[in-house]
Amino acid sequence: PAASGKASSWVIKWIQQSTARTLTYPAAVHWSGGVDHVMSTANDAVDIVSMFTIDGGTTIYASIVGTAFAA
C-alpha cells in the first residue's frame, strides 16, 4: 500500500484448487458487515475480494465482491 495519508485499493481474485485451501487474513483487515471471507470449497471456484486503505495498511477495509463464481 501507499504511504499513510494516500489511498490504495486493490481487488484479489482467488481460485480454489482441487485440494481445498483456506485463507487467513491479517488482523488489520476489517470486513464489511463484520463477516470474514471464507474461501469457496468447490474445485476451480473463484472468489473476488476488494480492499482499501488510507493509512499505509494499518487498517484495511475489505468487501466480498462475490463467491463461488464458476471458472
Instruction: Read off the pLDDT of residues 2-35 as tens digits, 9 standing for 90 and up.
Output: 999 999 999 999 999 988 889 999 999 999 999 9
On the question of pLDDT at 70 being above 70, the answer is yes
How many angstroms separate the CA atoms of 68 and 71, rounded? 9
Residue 71 is predicted with a pLDDT of: 67
Residue 44 is predicted with a pLDDT of: 92
What percent of the chain clears pLDDT 90, i.e. is strictly above it? 87
How many angstroms separate the CA atoms of 42 and 16, rounded? 7
Q: pLDDT confidence of 47, banded at 50, 70, 90?
A: very high
Query: How many Cβ atoms from other residues are within 10 Å of residue 40's Cβ?
Result: 18
Task: Decide: pTM greater than 0.85.
Answer: yes
